[in-house]
Amino acid sequence: MAMHSLALIAKSKKMINAVEIADTMKFSKNHLSKVLQVMARYQYISSIRGPKGGFVLKKNADEITLLEVYEMFEGKIQTENCAMHYQEKCPFNTCVFGSMGDNFSKAFESYLRNKTIADLIN
């Protein structure tokens, strides 16, 4: 929701408000408002009130990585944890999933680190 909203704000030639974003993306307006508040608190967007108001980016779209947006809401990606949450209590000598979970997490983190909001709109 945050990434899509930032991309719409960056792509828009005019200010875009929460209702327009929610309608375009089929998001819940109430949930979206909370997401937008968080992004404003972290200085990614600012809002202008009034009939012609809406949101604008406070940073350049090519400087905002998808990783920082993801981590703003979900926290740091864990790349070395057991998907089954066994940690020390695992009954097996080697993980039944091999290194697939770690590899996926690392690839996902790398992808997000190397993509920006600008990449989503170009």
- Average pLDDT per block of 10 residues along the chain, 122 residues long: 97 94 96 96 94 93 98 89 67 81 92 98 90
pLDDT of residue 36: 97
**Residue 111 belongs to what domain range?**
2-121
Closest CA to 97 of 112, 110, 108, 86: 86
Whole-angstrom CA distances from 61 to 11, 46, 48, 58, 83 are: 9, 14, 19, 9, 33
Classify residue 72 by burial, with Cβ atoms within 10 Å: 0-12, 13-18, 19+: middle
For the chain, how far is it from start to end, CA to CA, in angstroms?
A: 19
Specify the CATH number for the domain of residue 57: 1.10.10.10
pTM for this structure? 0.86
Phi, psi of 47 (to 5 degrees): -115, 145
71, amino acid identity: E
Phi, psi of 111 (to 5 degrees): -60, -50
Structure tokens at 115: 């993509």
> How many angstroms separate the CA atoms of 24 and 118, rounded?
19
pLDDT of residue 86: 61
pLDDT of residue 122: 85
- Domain tally, the chain: 1
